[in-house]
Amino acid sequence: MAAQTRVALVTGAAGDLGHGIALRLARDGLDVAVNDLPARAADLDKVVAEIKALGRQSIPVPGDVSVEADVEGMVEKTVAALGGLDVMVANVGIFFAKFVVDMDVEQWDRLFAINIRGVMLCHKHAGKQMIKQGRGGRLLAACSVAGLTGAPLCGAYAASKFAVRGFIQAAASEFGKFGVTVNAYAPGFIGNTGMFADLDNGVTNALGIPKGAFEAQATSSQIKLGRLGKVEEVAGLVAYLASDIARYVTGQTIAVDGGMHLA
């Protein structure tokens, strides 16, 4: 009997990092459902076409990860169209740079709704499906080096990513008996992504420094390998954690950051 094709769902797949992760999983032989906000439906359709060009099945499942009905629907549509769900990548996240004394409560609440409530909802509904299927699974979440060490201007983002670490440790303790692993990947400064652009612009504006100064300082003193990361390097870690080879790894947050944070 031929092995059943594994199925993944990747959130934030219209963005640079989610796009790269979705394509990497497809190249590894998984069928992939891709999610982002409904306003980015056209971008999702392009990702679906790219995945199908690799010989894999794919569907768009637009929705807001902070809304439970949307997440439940995403999982249901994935299972109905692709035959199951084996890998959930709760990848989507948002960022803003502000000093604590300038924090806006509405911004704070929206960031937490996406960055940690979204992870919880994705893992809740994907996890229920994986338990029902009875063949194990992989629950993954985006953390960050900011979830390992806090930094100025990143108070809200760091707090949300520290929360991700705590959540995946607790979830790993609950899902292990079902053969479902729960892990997080923690990117550092990844070039050519909207997230790094937001960080760069936010820090540059807040500190009044010349354009390019933040990146130059980071690559010269913070990043031991002396360069920004690449999307494919993060996608490679996600692919490993999603694979059968990683079946004995759970409850971990693994950095892919060029040595910014030394464990």
- Measured over the CA atoms of residue 29, residue 233, residue 187 and residue 97, the dihedral's sign is negative
Backbone angles phi, psi at 4, to 5 degrees: -70, 135
Q: What is the Rg, in whole angstroms, of the alpha carbon atoms belonging to the chain?
A: 18
Helix (H, G, I), strand (E, B) or coil at 157: helix
Backbone angles phi, psi at 173, to 5 degrees: -65, -30
Backbone angles phi, psi at 58, to 5 degrees: -155, 150
Q: Please give the C-alpha separations between residue 137 and each of 8, 71, 218, 248, 250, in angstroms, as whole numbers.
A: 10, 18, 36, 12, 11
Is there a catalytic annotation at residue 185?
A: no
The encoded tokens of residue 95 equal 């960022």
Is there a catalytic annotation at residue 161?
A: yes
Interatomic CA distance for residues 210 and 204, integer angstroms: 7
Catalytic residue among 77, 157, 211, 230: 157
Interatomic CA distance for residues 126 and 32, integer angstroms: 14
Catalytic residue among 124, 128, 161, 224: 161
Backbone angles phi, psi at 84, to 5 degrees: 160, -170
Catalytic residues: 157, 161
